[in-house]
Amino acid sequence: MARSAVPAPSAPPVNPDPAGLTPASYESALSELDRLVQQMEGGQLPLDQLLSAYRRGAELLAYCRSRLQSVEEQVQLLDDGQLKPWGAT
């Protein structure tokens, strides 16, 4: 007797950026990264979507780190090469 395949419940869409495009801003990258992490932590993603989300998350993390480093370098230039604490006067 043949068993009919029961379709697996559908997972929420991950929507990782398939083209790996650069985010419009640091804030949009952070928002997308947060959304991906929440979906991944939910534990309901199929393996392929989980891997895609992880890859996109790694790209977004690298972008955010790069932007933060760039801003830090700009602040150092403005402060004569010395990175000062925010509260310092």
Please give the class, per CATH, of domain 26-78: mainly alpha
2: which residues sit within 8 A by CB, 6+ positions away? Answer: none
Report the C-alpha gap between 9 and 3 in whole angstroms: 18
Rounded to 5 degrees, what are φ and ψ at 76?
Answer: -60, -40
Within the chain, where are the H helices?
26-41, 47-78
Q: How does residue 83 score in pLDDT terms, banded at 50, 70 and 90?
A: low
pLDDT in tens, 30-49: 999 999 999 999 999 999 99
Q: Quick one: pLDDT band at residue 8, thresholds 50, 70, 90?
A: very low
pLDDT tens by residue, 52-69: 999 999 999 999 999 999
Q: How confident is the model at residue 76 (pLDDT cuts 50, 70, 90)?
A: confident
Report the predicted TM-score, pTM, of the whole model to 2 decimal places. Answer: 0.66
- Domain locations in the chain as residue ranges: 26-78
Within 10 angstroms of residue 51's Cβ, the number of other Cβ atoms is 13
